[in-house]
Structure 1
Amino acid sequence: MRGLKKRRRVQIILVAFVALAVSTGLIGYAMRDGINFFRSPSQIVEAPPAPTEVFRIGGLVEAGSLQRGQGETIRFNVTDGGATVPVTYTGVLPDLFSENQGMIGTGMLIEGTFVATEILAKHDESYMPREVVDALKEQGVYRHAEDEPPGGS
């Protein structure tokens, strides 16, 4: 009787371990498309990602690069001060999207152009996504809004 209880306990532990391993694997498989890595334009130029990889790009919208085409397709360049990546986006841009402002886009790099499926822009005068601030600080071009002289730059 005692051996039967011990064997049953071992079986339950093994079944629980297998169930935990299978559920962990399924969760990882389900989340593989939901994880998007952030890259700055400099990182993209140095080591371009695979054409099928979905990732996020962030930086400043380069002044003078915003071009509105026919329909809803918009072209612009994103820069971090060290490199520039051309971006195309089809859709309606956020109201606060403009040149010389921070942005983050989600999409893929196809033939050297980032094709965005989503564009996020700053939401107030001093906000910039943390990843963009970090990338701009690495390039030495980030200036905090408090550091700017009165009247803007």
Structure 2
Amino acid sequence: MNPVRRNRLLLILALVVAAGIAATLVTWAIQRNITYLYTPSEVLRGEAGQHARFRLGGMVAADSFKRAPGSLEAHFRVTDGDAQMPVVYNGILPDLFREKQAVIATGRMEGDRFVAEQVLAKHDETYMPKEVADKMGMAHKKHDVQAPGAAPATEMK
């Protein structure tokens, strides 16, 4: 083989290997930083994994919020209509955080409770993240409950 062709072939081979390594590293980094959204029912079924970082979405259950006096540690439950998941968050909650409102918490499972690193609350009357709205809509259909804000079904004559 001609030395010039051999050098070109080695250069092309080195570029292909470098591109493969770069693609592998990018894929690995993206997979480590992806946080999937799960509802409490899905978490209790084991779909989220025990040590994975993920987002827990649903509604803050009524009469579930508790904060120890003089502490930033908040305890509340997130529900999707089928199940409830206890959540612990140590930090300042968003101003719009309330019971019976949509919430998304990012964190990990520790035992039988979810330890949140970040909590996001619904920011206005009509907004709910699409993923949460879709999953809550499925829960409403399953329990034959009218979705909040939906017009009642009437028969047309």
Percentage identity across paired residues of the two chains: 37
Q: Does 1:83 align with 2:68?
A: no
Conserved? CA contact 2:38–2:48, under 8 Å: no
Note if contact 1:65-1:75 (Cα within 8 Å) is conserved in structure 2.
yes
Report the Cα distance in structure 2 between the residues aligned to 1:8 and 1:146, rounded to whole angstroms. Answer: 69
Q: What count of residue pairs does the alignment treat as equivalent?
A: 147
Query: What pairs up with 1:122-141 in 2 under 5 angstroms?
Result: 122-140=122-140
| Segment of structure 1 superposing worse, 52-61 or 23-32 | 23-32
1:126 deviates by 0.6
Instruction: Report the CA distance between 1:26 and its aligned residue.
Output: 1.9
Query: 1:29, CA displacement in angstroms?
Result: 3.1
2:5 corresponds to which letter in structure 1?
K
1:16 aligns with 2:20: no
What TM-score comes out, normalization by structure 1 length?
0.86
Structure 1: distance between partners of 2:15 and 2:138: 47
TM-score (normalizing by structure 2): 0.84
Match of 2:28 in 1: 29
Q: Point out where structure 1 has 5 or more consecutive residues left out of the alignment.
A: 149-153
- Unaligned runs of at least 5 residues, structure 2: 153-157
For 1:52-67, list aligned pairs within 5 A.
52-67=51-66
Aligned-residue RMSD, C-alpha: 2.0
Which consecutive segments of 4 or more residues in structure 1 shift more than 6 A? none
Counterpart in 2 of 1:3?
2
